[in-house]
Chain A
Amino acid sequence: MPNLFNMTRRLAVGLVAASLFLSGPRPLGAEGAQEYQVKGAMVYNMAKYIEWPAGAFASNGAPLMICSMGRGPFAAALEPYRGKTVLGHPVLVRHLQVGEELGECHVLVVSGVEKRYLAGVLDLARRRSVLTVGDVPDFARQGGIIGLVEQEGRVRFEINMKAAHQSRFKISSQLLKLARILKEGDS
């Protein structure tokens, strides 16, 4: 064993040193925007193109609550929009655990959630007319309203029209023309 460990250690130190030397730290965003920064900006931007059902906001200046659920960098990517306004509504941001009540959420961002939780989460959101946005695979097909999918290194939308209608959302044509539409029967 001494042989093995000696050699292992020497090689390990050498390799790590060599590769650190070769790669080194590099500023973020040198080649393109970060995936989740873009996704966060999309969620904030998207809210402008959505008409919530009557009664979703107590008043014209009532806050817009963006909630997130699940692990990973999506929650942090929403933070920069706290306090900004969307059509006169100041934005609030909250992180929820799976199983927590959706409370005052207007938007629910679902990312890094196990698939078997998804049906329950989406069902709850549908009943409360919460706009669901997610990047778990097949999110829109599984009953989410807006799915974020990667296509050729870009983030694109999939919109489940049936789910949007059920939750009584109106989505502006400007948003629809950018998205791939999942029609009745596709979902």
Chain B
Amino acid sequence: MTRNRCRLLVSLAGLLLSLLCGTARADDAVEQPAQDLGAMDLEQLTNLKVEKVYGVSKFEQVVTEAPASVTVVTSDEIRHYGWRTLADVLKATRGFFATYDRNYSYIGTRGFNRPGDYNTRVLLLLDGHQVNDVIYESAAIGTEFILDLALVDRIEIIRGPSSSLYGAGAFFGVINVISKSGKQLDGVEAAGSFGSQKSGSGRLTFGKAFNGGEFLVSGSRYVSRGDDRLFYPEFNDPATNNGIADNMDRDSNYSLFASGHLRDFTLTGALVSRDKRIPTASFGTIFDDPRTKSTDRRSFLDLKYDKAFEGTSVTARLFYDEYRFIGDFAYERDARDPISYPATYVNRDDHLARWWGAEAQASRQVLPRLQLTGGTRFRDTFQLEIPNVDLVPGGRSVENDHSDLFWALFGQAELRILDELILNAGVRYDHYETFGGATSPRLALIYTPVEGTVFKLIYGKAFRAPNAYELYYNDVFNGYATSPSLRPETVRTYEAIWEQYYGDIVRTSASLFYNKIDNLISYEDVSATQVAFANIERVKALGGEFEVEGQWNTGFSARASYGFVSARNDVTDERLDYSPRHLVKLNVTAPLYRKKLFAGIELQGVSRRDFTHNDAQVSAGGYAVANATLFSTALLPGLETSVSVYNLLDRRIVDPATTDHVQNVIPQDGRTYRLQVSYRF
């Protein structure tokens, strides 16, 4: 312990020193004579320490020939920029942003952001396994995400409706998180962090490769008091603690992850449980009451089989999933409540879903220029309980049990019409018990006139089935008029992409898109006390994005992007709520000392978001925020440290709130910091 602390101190001192001396580093590189590698024998070559080519994983085939605009985020970037959650990753990604209501984070993409929708329109995958649950279909990107970000090898962010390729639910895009393997870790790693708001975390990971396989097990714990004196002027009254939510922002989680493969089989198990107090008094709950909180517990087991038979690659999966949500909401007794109730009581959502399923996919080059892929998926939700009860002896309760059977067929053909031209056509048919089937086609032309230049033209259609929450949810107040006749939403997309590579160092990407969304599910007031989900909205969005990105072998990398969207609500012919017109991003990593000490600096700008809140037209102001991280690796063997400062200039940032809140905007954190240390034995 003492020794570790000693090392920590030494490395911290090292960090500071090298920062100060950063400019005088001309003499630190020991020049080696150019080696004639061709003259060396194999044994010498295998003993040679090699320097990884930066950016290869970024410029790999999957990005250039994928029928979509794809961003690959690597574990190096996660560490260099001090990203804590998937929300942090998305905020730095071209065309994306995220908002936070101090309970969940909400993804914004292509002009569309709906605080309170639990990200039901983005498909989130962990190693190809669907993370979205079957009740809310939530893509958890905050501290409730199932994997510690330190265990992420890379993240593929695929823009646009990609249902035909990746599965139902890929309405606006797909986030595919790929975990590290035991082979990559090869040993024990212990990590811990400490930061503002009395935040702390710990992690222990063990990974090992053996002949024919490998495995990895890891456990993590995170605790934060959050902002323990949040002030909401809307509640500035002596009866509500003068608007101060005292110690109401607590956040904690624990997560376990295990993955191993033996020959052609991979078994993965993951679990996360997160508790969050809700400081905003949303849904009319009592202000500053610590009983109001949410618990999300998500887990799965996934067995994958992966094999090539005589030129056909086959992947099959068998999985079992669980999701439990407990939402506690403290209320004051009012005239509508039974007279026997105490003055205050807790109302609880105690939701539980269990499902299992299987998936099979085969891909084969049937002709020299034709690659066919086909597959099927089946999911049986045998338990889906969404009751709402008052935690009062003999209190009100609403039982609400359902089940669901889902299956899908999909196929894709990639035809290399010319050496430079690929036609990619995919179609997917999904069948739900609730409303029947829907077809998602997708067509893309990928043209590479010369090495390094790629044009893509894409048409796609995707749909989103109403989820169980939208279809069935009601509470003891009968506040929801359930709507079993909901139809799926559809989105059609037209997209043109131009990617240009300048050597293996610099890349630019420009895209234009037009999205048309029909039958969008929103909730509307049906009476003074009831809301209902209905297919009421239509949206048209026209936008463009531009990005320039470079990675040099010195370890220096930078990327800058600008996104513009004009999104309109087609029913009211007004600008779409919560939709910023402009997004700007800048990310720079600079090696300060060899490839051991890096500075990662990021800047994000989001323009004003207008929206309607309780019949008033309001807005959340535009903002620019800067984050900075100093990261060191291998200053001592096995040791990595980082110091991050978020919202460096302590700017006031607010995100929009839905009508479930009295507040129309939710202030975000000011300047915070985090110190992280990891050690590999």
Whether A and B are associated in the same complex: the answer reads yes
Residues of A within 8 A of B (CB): 1, 3-5, 7-8, 11-12, 15-16, 18-38, 40-42, 44-46, 49, 70-73, 80-81, 84, 97-101, 112-124, 142-143, 150, 153-157, 174-175, 178, 180, 182, 185-186
B560 / chain A contacts, CB cutoff of 8 Å: 12
Q: Are A99 and B586 in contact (CB under 8 A)?
A: no
B238 surroundings in chain A (CB, below 8 A):
none
Known: A11-B603, A31-B595, A41-B37. A19 touches B56 (CB 8 A): no
- Given A32-B50, A186-B212, do A1 and B592 touch, yes or no (CB 8 Å)? no
Contact of B49 among A5, A49, A153, A175 (CB under 8 A): A153
Indicate if the CB atoms of A31 and B29 lie closer than 8 Å.
Answer: yes
B433 at the interface (CB under 8 A from A): no
Decide if B189 is an interface residue (CB 8 Å cutoff): no
A21 and B23 in contact, given A7-B624, A32-B51 (Cβ under 8 angstroms): yes
Which A residues lie within 8 Å of B35 (CB)? Answer: 33
Quote the shortest CB–CB distance from B471 to chain A (angstroms): 36
A residues less than 8 Å from B554 (CB atoms): 23-26
Separation in Å of the A32 CB from the closest CB of chain B? Answer: 4
- Complex Cα distance, B562 from A4, in Å, reads 13
Residue of B nearest to A156 (CB): B46
Q: Which of B28-53 contact A (CB under 8 A)?
A: 29-32, 34-35, 37-38, 40-43, 45-53
**CA of A121 to CA of B364 in the docked complex: distance in angstroms?**
10
Is B396 in the interface zone, CB < 8 Å from A? no
Query: Nearest-CB distance from A52 to chain B (Å)?
Result: 18
Which of chain B's residues have a CB closer than 8 A to the CB of A112? 56, 59-61
Residues of chain B at the chain A interface (Cβ within 8 Å): 22-23, 29-32, 34-35, 37-38, 40-43, 45-53, 56, 59-62, 64-65, 211-212, 263, 308-313, 363-365, 368-369, 371, 373, 416, 419, 504, 552-556, 558, 560, 582, 584, 586, 588, 590-592, 594-595, 599, 601, 603, 605, 607-608, 622-624, 626
B37 touches A4 (CB 8 A): no
Chain B residues contacting A123 (CB-CB under 8 Å) are 308, 310-311, 365
Is A19 in contact with B37, judged by CB distance below 8 angstroms?
Answer: no
- Min CB distance B150 to A, Å, is 20
Known interface pairs A7-B624, A22-B590, A119-B364. Does A32 touch B601 (Cβ–Cβ under 8 Å)?
no
A99 to B211, CA, bound (A): 33
Contacts of B558 in A (CB 8 A): 16, 19
B53→A73 contact, CB < 8 A:
yes
Q: Which of A27, A40, A46 has the most CB of B within 10 A?
A: A27
| In contact, B601 and A73 (Cβ under 8 angstroms) | no
Most chain-B CB neighbours within 10 Å: which of A18, A34, A71, A124? A71
Complex CA gap A137/B601 in Å reads 31
Chain B residues with CB below 8 A from A119, complex form: 308-309, 311-313, 363-365
